[in-house]
Amino acid sequence: MTDVRNFTFSEQVQRQLEILNVGLVYLFGSQSEGVSGPMSDVDLGVVFVDPKISHGNTLQIYSQLFDLFSELFQTENLDIVFLERATLELRFDVVKYGKILFAASAEVKDTFEHQTVMLYADFKPVLNNFDKAILHRI
């Protein structure tokens, strides 16, 4: 498997991602943190420039991205997450700890990250109360 932490997409791959409406690709999880083992998968978070365009073609786009990334990283042990559909906690962790492998523009990156951080800040007190209630029941 290719070392994904220092991976750079070629111009051809960047064009393919843009055709698929991909705005951001994050590497997250053990690979991005440098603690991966031989059985570790490659966790990729994908953000679309316009999620509405990709909404009806999710399976087709996932399949195309899987084929592209499995060839690039020389592994089929991939986990691709469409971050607009992920939990807020996962989105925040990816933004905070993940590594950007591709950004269509600074605007797409800034918009997604700002939106994620603001939503998380609003929702964090609810999460804290939920966690306290769970711990209290244990």
Domain range summary for the chain, segments of one domain joined by +: 4-137
What is the pLDDT averaged over residues 49-63?
85
Strand pairing report for 22-28 and 78-82:
unpaired
Spatial distance between the Cα atoms of 96 and 6, rounded to a whole number of angstroms: 18
102: left (phi over 0), alpha (psi -120 to 50) or beta: beta
Per-residue pLDDT band at 106 (split at 50, 70, 90): very high
Asked if pLDDT for residue 74 goes beyond 70, the answer is yes
pLDDT in tens, 10-39: 999 999 999 999 999 999 998 888 887 878
What is the pLDDT averaged over residues 71-75?
91
Region 4-137: CATH code = 3.30.460.10
